[in-house]
């Protein structure tokens, strides 16, 4: 069943990607370049020449000076407007990112969007001490690792350091405190306080529980993308992945053998189970790798392996994984990919026979139809 033939030209991915990337770059380069050029031209054009304008003129000539500099002032004002209007790349990114955002309850909106505060000693995570990672409730990006959490007895979860680059600080409108927001989506998190001496970092991120979503470690992810040898091969060597196993999933047939699954009648798919530490690698990272190592547009199998047991699917556990998988697929569809990958609910897992486990590591061979092609920026 596992043919050693090449996948040939079944990869429409790189073509689509180039179209998308080129389009994106064209937008950025055109708008950014022309915007800057317009600004420079408009600002520089009317700048007074010291040989033609005498700035040390006596007061009686004030009116003339105003009239001479009026065009300059107008030009500067217009150029500022054109600069502000000429920044579509950020807007484009924002529109894409909005698709990732989780719908919020009224209370979540009050805190996250309207910068409210939950009642002290009322949040889910104030005394929470499991090992794992805290994500932004709205966009799902990692914000704080559990090993940065400490008990400040202030009534809200406290952290002394954020995941690098995950949190932005702004002066609070009250003029005294410093607000912290998710760097990815701008969700209000709470405030940061310095110099209180709680930990060596001398910093306390005071965060509303309702702005967070916790993912425990270790976590498990399941991916089906054709021959499970190749899928496991790519995840096995990833930093943050603790262990991998190949098996069968999605059918009603209990404890199937490889030969039974190969008939295509058991309902099972060849799949890989990935146990990982979400503190070190996110589910989003795993999803992105999954979509980069197989042809998720193929509807009848994977490469030369044709049949229902080789279909592309993500078996999700819980709302968080479902939302993340949907967000990544939506991102791909926005880039005009026809995604054949199904998002399926978690199902019983049956480990494959030993000789299938770590197949490429044991044999020293290379995957014949799972070659990574980069399609995500990160
Ligand atoms: Zn966020």
Q: Where in the chain is the domain with CATH 3.30.1060.10?
A: 219-377
Cα 101 to ligand 1 centroid, rounded to whole Å: 8
- Tell which phi-psi region holds residue 256, choosing left (phi > 0), alpha (psi between -120 and 50) or beta: beta
| Distance in angstroms (rounded) separating the CA atoms of residues 235 and 225 | 12
Cα 84 to ligand 1 centroid, rounded to whole Å: 24
| Distance in angstroms (rounded) separating the CA atoms of residues 207 and 126 | 9
Bond preceding residue 166 cis, omega within 30 of 0: no
The CATH architecture to which 100-215 belongs is: Beta Complex (2.170)
> 3-class DSSP state for residue 219?
strand
The total of other beta-carbon atoms located within 10 Å of residue 173's CB is: 9
Q: Where in the chain is the domain with CATH 2.170.150.20?
A: 100-215
> 3-class DSSP state for residue 330?
helix
Which residues are annotated as catalytic?
Answer: 206, 227
| Distance in angstroms (rounded) separating the CA atoms of residues 365 and 359 | 8
Query: Given the DSSP bridges, would you call strands 203-207 and 212-216 parallel, antiparallel or unpaired?
Result: unpaired
Cα 141 to ligand 1 centroid, rounded to whole Å: 6
Cα 151 to ligand 1 centroid, rounded to whole Å: 24
Cα 99 to ligand 1 centroid, rounded to whole Å: 12
The total of other beta-carbon atoms located within 10 Å of residue 51's CB is: 6
Cα 350 to ligand 1 centroid, rounded to whole Å: 36
Cα 268 to ligand 1 centroid, rounded to whole Å: 36
pLDDT tens, residue order, the chain (378 aa): 454 333 333 333 333 333 333 223 222 333 222 223 222 222 222 222 333 333 333 333 333 443 444 444 444 333 332 222 223 233 323 344 566 687 899 999 999 999 999 999 999 999 999 999 999 999 888 899 999 999 999 999 999 999 989 999 999 989 999 999 999 999 999 999 999 999 999 999 999 999 999 999 999 999 999 999 999 999 998 999 999 999 999 999 999 999 999 999 999 999 999 999 988 888 999 999 999 999 999 999 999 999 999 999 999 998 889 988 998 999 999 999 999 999 999 999 999 999 999 999 899 998 888 999 999 876
Enter the CATH code of domain 219-377: 3.30.1060.10
Cα 207 to ligand 1 centroid, rounded to whole Å: 13
């Amino acid at each position: 069943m596992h043919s050693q033939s090449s996948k040939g030209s079944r990869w429409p991915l790189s073509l689509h990607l180039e179209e998308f990337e080129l389009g994106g770059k064209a937008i950025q380069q055109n708008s950014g370049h022309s915007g800057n050029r317009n600004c420079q031209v408009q600002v520089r054009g009317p700048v007074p020449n010291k040989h033609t304008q005498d700035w040390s003129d006596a007061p009686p000539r004030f009116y003339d000076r105003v009239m001479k500099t009026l065009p300059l002032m107008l030009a500067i004002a217009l150029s500022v407007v054109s600069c502000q209007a000429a920044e579509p790349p950020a807007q484009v990114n924002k529109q894409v990112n909005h698709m990732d955002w989780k719908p919020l309850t009224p209370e979540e909106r009050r805190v996250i969007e309207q910068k409210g505060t939950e009642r002290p000693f009322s949040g889910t995570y104030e005394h929470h001490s499991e090992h794992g990672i805290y994500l932004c409730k709205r966009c799902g990006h990692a914000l704080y690792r559990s090993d940065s959490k400490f008990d400040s007895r202030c009534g809200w979860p406290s952290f002394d350091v954020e995941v690098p680059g995950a949190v932005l600080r702004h002066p609070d409108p009250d003029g005294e405190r410093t607000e912290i927001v998710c760097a990815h989506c701008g969700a209000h998190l709470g405030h940061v306080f310095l110099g209180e001496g709680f930990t060596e970092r001398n910093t306390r991120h005071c965060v509303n529980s309702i702005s967070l979503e916790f993912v425990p470690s270790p976590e498990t992810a399941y991916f089906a993308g054709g021959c499970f040898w190749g899928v496991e091969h790519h995840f096995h060597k990833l930093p943050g992945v603790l262990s991998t196993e190949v098996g069968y999933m999605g059918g009603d047939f209990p404890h199937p053998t490889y030969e039974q699954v190969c008939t295509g009648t058991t309902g099972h798919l060849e799949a890989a189970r990935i146990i990982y530490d979400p503190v070190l690698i996110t589910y989003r990272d795993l999803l992105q790798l999954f979509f980069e190592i197989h042809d998720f547009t193929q509807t009848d199998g994977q490469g030369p392996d044709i049949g229902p047991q080789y279909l592309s699917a993500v078996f999700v556990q819980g709302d968080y994984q479902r939302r993340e998988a949907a967000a990544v697929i939506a991102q791909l569809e926005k880039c005009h990919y026809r995604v054949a990958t199904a998002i399926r609910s978690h199902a019983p897992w049956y480990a494959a026979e030993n000789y299938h486990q770590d197949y490429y590591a044991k044999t020293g061979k290379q995957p014949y139809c799972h070659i990574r092609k980069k399609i995500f920026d990160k």
